């Protein structure tokens, strides 16, 4: 699964190097002489751009903030409608609400991502942005979503927080639309502990995001930081140098993580012998991140019995069913009591999504699982399935 499994000597060496060469300067700007000219956050952003073949990358403090800053930079204003999906981490909708915009949340389909038809049905005069989420490493149906967006002249922001390293028809997740965002939190493909990244080829979006995340600083080379120029105000969402240093080491491990995910997931999936489950539909089987194996049963009763026995065998699940309360809009009473569109109906609007998610199980694929570990896991799954 994620980069935390491989957090080791390389990350440690990069951190020690800051202490040995930069005199404790953890701030990403200024103090050039004291820090001996090393800027890790900038180096990390540059590496990120090279890896994903994108023009701009802006590091920030979290994936949630990456979305908030990106939406500001894309010109989203209070009252604008932003369409996203019912199955996502709560953060996707929190960022929309934090901006004062209106979340319009549509059902998922058997890809466990945005249903393109539901998206099309939800577009109104007030729609200003579409935010598909590449949930659990499987890119959304981007051909269909981008075609709908083009027809309605709407921009798209990919929430790729859970899909760094996945590709869709040869393009990296996060690079298919105008703007992509990533989370670098503890559970993601690579991690800086907490952190986020905004990527784009759009110069104006990047300029705004760069300034907004740093109190409006233009980082004008003609002035010292204290006299820096500015034309907008912003916030402080700056990543620090320790995170940048860890991120550089983690990024070197990305290809290995993805290839191990794919190898281990293939073994797991091939080993499961049953006709009692349906696997998630993949939009690009060769390109998915493969950090999660998702399947569903015919009914909730079978799902419940499987999950109980699976936990008793010492294994865990991921997002569904264990953390469904944080990943399905139909459980978010804390958010929708003030949102007119959902105030009285939030728990029933996404019936189609609920029907699928309540029958679903998501199993994490671990990078460090050995063949022996996987054989044991497969034996446990098959034993439980055959007893159902
Ligand atoms: C789909 C999705 N969007 C946004 C986020 C928010 O990222 P962060 O935890 O870095 O704020 C997450 C993190 O779990 C996520 O999975």
Residue 130, strand partner residues: 83, 156
Please tell me the distance between residue 285's alpha carbon and the centre of ligand 1 in angstroms.
23
Q: How much of the chain exceeds pLDDT 90, in percent?
A: 94
d(CA 112, CA 17): 43
pLDDT of residue 303 exceeding 60: yes
Query: pLDDT digit string (tens) for 62-71?
Result: 999 999 999 9
Q: Tell me the two tokens of residue 50.
A: 């090279």
User: Average pLDDT in the 130-147 region?
Assistant: 98
**DSSP code per residue over 1-63:** --GGGG--HHHHHHHHHHHHHSTT--SSSS-TTTTTT--HHHHHHHHHHHHHT-SEEEEES-H
Mutate to test the pocket of ligand 1, among 183, 189, 323, 326 (most ligand atoms within 8 A of CB): 183
d(CA 340, CA 338): 6
pLDDT of residue 343 exceeding 90: no
Q: Tell me the two tokens of residue 51.
A: 């890896």
Q: Are residues 14 and 156 in the same domain?
A: yes
Residue 346: its pLDDT value, please?
A: 85
Of the residues 55, 128, 188, 207, only one is catalytic, namely: 188
Residue 341: its pLDDT value, please?
A: 85
Please tell me the distance between residue 61's alpha carbon and the centre of ligand 1 in angstroms.
11
Which of 202, 226, 252 is the endpoint of a domain?
252
Q: Are residues 57 and 202 in the same domain?
A: yes
CB 217 within 8 A of CB 211: yes
Q: Are residues 33 and 166 in the same domain?
A: yes
User: Average pLDDT in the 17-29 region?
Assistant: 93
Q: Which residue's CA is minimally distant from atom 14 of ligand 1?
A: 89
Residue 297: its pLDDT value, please?
A: 98
Least Cα distance to 153 among 171, 176, 127, 134 occurs for 127
Q: Are residues 108 and 191 in the same domain?
A: yes
pLDDT of residue 175 exceeding 60: yes
Residue 340: its pLDDT value, please?
A: 86
Mutate to test the pocket of ligand 1, among 59, 185, 195, 198 (most ligand atoms within 8 A of CB): 185
Q: Are residues 316 and 171 in the same domain?
A: no
Residue 28: its pLDDT value, please?
A: 95
Predicted confidence band of residue 24 (pLDDT cuts 50, 70, 90):
confident
Query: Helix 63-73 vs helix 203-212: angle between axes, to the nearest 10 degrees?
Result: 120
Residue 267: its pLDDT value, please?
A: 98
CB atoms within 10 A of CB 378: 17
Which of 73-77, 162-166, 305-309, 331-335 has the lowest average pLDDT? Answer: 331-335
Residue 355 belongs to domain with CATH number: 3.90.1150.10
pLDDT of residue 2 exceeding 80: no
Please tell me the distance between residue 379's alpha carbon and the centre of ligand 1 in angstroms.
33
CB atoms within 10 A of CB 195: 29
Q: Are residues 83 and 224 in the same domain?
A: yes
Q: Are residues 157 and 120 in the same domain?
A: yes
| Cis amide bond preceding 27, omega within 30 | no
pLDDT of residue 1 exceeding 60: no
Which atom, in ligand 1's list, is nearest to the CA of 135? Answer: 1
Strands 127-130 and 167-168: unpaired
Please tell me the distance between residue 46's alpha carbon and the centre of ligand 1 in angstroms.
22
Ligand 1 pocket residue status of 62, Cβ below 6 Å? yes
The domain of 260 spans: 255-387
Please tell me the distance between residue 159's alpha carbon and the centre of ligand 1 in angstroms.
8
Residue 56: its pLDDT value, please?
A: 98
Residue 138 belongs to domain with CATH number: 3.40.640.10
Q: Are residues 215 and 269 in the same domain?
A: no
Residue 87, strand partner residues: 328
Name the helix (H) or strand (E) containing 351.
Answer: helix 351-357
Ligand 1 pocket residue status of 91, Cβ below 6 Å? yes
Q: Are residues 247 and 262 in the same domain?
A: no
Please tell me the distance between residue 69's alpha carbon and the centre of ligand 1 in angstroms.
14
Residue 295, strand partner residues: 279, 361
User: Average pLDDT in the 228-237 region?
Assistant: 97
Which of 252, 269, 303 is the endpoint of a domain?
252
Ligand 1 pocket residue status of 161, Cβ below 6 Å? yes
Which of 252, 267, 300 is the endpoint of a domain?
252
- Look up 260 and say whether it is catalytic: no
Q: Are residues 327 and 223 in the same domain?
A: no
Q: Please give the C-alpha separations between residue 317 and each of 151, 321, 329, 382, in angstroms, as whole numbers.
A: 39, 7, 19, 16
Residue 172: its pLDDT value, please?
A: 98
Domains held by the chain: number = 2
Which atom, in ligand 1's list, is nearest to the CA of 67? Answer: 4
Predicted confidence band of residue 94 (pLDDT cuts 50, 70, 90):
very high
Query: pLDDT digit string (tens) for 362-373?
Result: 999 999 999 999
Q: Are residues 193 and 319 in the same domain?
A: no
Least Cα distance to 27 among 317, 240, 293 occurs for 240
Mutate to test the pocket of ligand 1, among 70, 85, 91 (most ligand atoms within 8 A of CB): 91
Q: Are residues 232 and 274 in the same domain?
A: no
Query: pLDDT digit string (tens) for 31-87?
Result: 899 999 999 999 999 999 999 999 999 999 999 999 999 999 999 999 999 999 999
Residue 84, strand partner residues: 105
Stated pTM of the model: 0.97
């Amino acid at each position: 699964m994620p980069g935390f499994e491989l957090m080791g000597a390389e990350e440690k060496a990069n951190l020690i190097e800051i202490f040995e060469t930069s005199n404790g300067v953890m701030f990403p700007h200024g103090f050039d002489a004291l820090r001996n000219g090393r800027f890790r956050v900038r180096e990390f952003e540059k590496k990120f751009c090279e890896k994903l073949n994108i023009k701009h990358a802006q590091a920030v403090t979290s994936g949630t903030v990456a979305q908030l800053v990106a939406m500001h930079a894309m010109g989203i204003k209070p009252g604008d409608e932003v369409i996203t999906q019912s199955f996502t981490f709560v953060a996707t909708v929190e960022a929309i609400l934090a901006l004062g915009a209106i979340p319009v949340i549509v059902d998922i389909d058997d890809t466990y991502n945005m249903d393109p038809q539901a998206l099309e049905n939800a577009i109104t005069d007030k729609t200003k942005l579409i935010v598909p989420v590449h949930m659990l490493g499987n890119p959304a149906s981007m051909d269909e979503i981008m075609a709908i967006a083009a027809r309605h002249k709407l921009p798209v922001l990919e929430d790729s927080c859970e899909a760094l390293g996945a590709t869709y028809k040869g393009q990296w997740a996060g690079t298919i639309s105008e703007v992509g965002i990533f989370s670098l939190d503890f559970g993601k493909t690579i991690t800086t502990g907490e952190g986020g990244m905004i990527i784009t080829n759009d110069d104006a979006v990047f300029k705004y995001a760069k300034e907004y995340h740093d109190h409006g600083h233009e980082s004008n080379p003609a002035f010292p930081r204290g006299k820096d120029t500015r034309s907008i105000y912003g916030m402080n969402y700056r990543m620090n140098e320790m995170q940048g240093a860890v991120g550089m080491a983690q990024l070197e491990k990305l290809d290995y993580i993805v290839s191990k995910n794919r190898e281990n997931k293939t073994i797991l999936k091939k080993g499961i012998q049953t006709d009692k489950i349906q696997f998630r539909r993949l939009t690009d089987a060769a390109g998915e991140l493969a950090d999660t194996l998702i399947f569903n049963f015919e009914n909730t009763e079978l799902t419940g019995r499987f999950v109980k026995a699976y936990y008793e065998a010492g294994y865990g699940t991921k997002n569904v069913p264990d953390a469904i309360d944080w990943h399905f809009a139909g459980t978010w009473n804390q958010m929708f009591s003030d949102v007119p569109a959902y105030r009285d109906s939030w728990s029933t609007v996404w019936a189609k999504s609920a029907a699928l998610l309540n029958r679903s199980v998501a199993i994490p694929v671990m990078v460090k699982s050995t063949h022996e570990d996987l054989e044991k896991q497969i034996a446990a799954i098959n034993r439980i399935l055959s007893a159902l």
